[in-house]
Amino acid sequence: MNWLLPLYPARWRVRYGEEFGAVLASQHASVGLVLDVLAGAVDAHLYPQIQNSQSKPIKGDDTMTLEMLQRCAVGGPKLSPQDRRIASLFMLVSALVMATLYIVLTKIYRAAPAVQALFYATFPALTLIYGQTAYLRKRPWLTQVFILGAGLLGMYLFMLAACVVGNKL
């Protein structure tokens, strides 16, 4: 059952992984157990408690692993709650704009490939918008516009090509 452990965040595994694995190994495999572990993993991602943790016993052999993990984490994303809120808001507004655009274009052009492509590109585009808004927020706005614009354009053109080819088959 320890194959479920990688579903937990890295910092959580550093802190609780070993003892969690020991408890997990002592339980009989069942659907209920898998669901419990999955729910625990979702919770650990949504509500990480580790940074608030006051004390953590560090054994001598833990120190090197911990230091390596901290070094690896330096270049990783560090999203503040404000970053997440702004990105979510941006994604919500974008979803409304894209939905409105789709309705208007469908009314005018019916099921043209360009409109179909917009429909199929909406979901991945929103994911891209959220990610880029959150991670690039502290970069110059021109960089943000360029990276986001290029990503969205590339995605739309790919979907458009797929729709054109799909309609011809």
| Distance (Å, whole) CA 15 – CA 47 | 15
Alpha carbon distances (Å) from 142 to 1, 32, 77, 94, 147: 48, 50, 20, 19, 9
115, two tokens: 């409109």
Nearer to another protein, 15 or 118 (CB): 15
Nearer to another protein, 41 or 112 (CB): 41
Near another protein by CB under 8 A, which window of 14-22, 91-99, 105-113, 127-135?
14-22
Is 22 or 153 the residue whose CB approaches another protein more closely?
A: 22
Looking at the Cβ atoms of 23 and 169, the one nearer to another protein is: 23
- Map the footprint of another protein across residues 17-76, applying CB under 8 A: 18-24, 26-27, 32-33, 36-41, 43-44, 49-50, 52-57, 59
Rounded to a whole number of angstroms, the minimum distance from the CB of residue 149 to another protein is 40
What's the rounded Cα separation, in Å, for the pair 19 and 13?
9
> How many residues touch another protein (CB under 8 A)?
31
| CA angle, 2 then 20 then 41, to 5° | 75
CA–chain centroid gap for 8, Å, is: 14
Q: At what angle do helices 113-135 and 141-168 cross, to 10 degrees?
A: 150
Give the nearer residue to another protein in terms of CB position, either 37 or 155. 37
**Cα angle, residue 98 at apex, residues 94 and 101 outer, rounded to 5°:** 140
Minimum distance, C-beta of residue 146 to another protein, in the bound complex (Å): 40
In the complex, least distance from residue 134 CB atom to another protein, rounded to whole angstroms: 24
Contacts of 55 (CB under 8 A, 6+ apart): none
Give the nearest distance from C-beta 131 to another protein in angstroms: 27
* Residues found near another protein in the complex (CB under 8 A): 12, 15-16, 18-24, 26-27, 32-33, 36-41, 43-44, 49-50, 52-57, 59
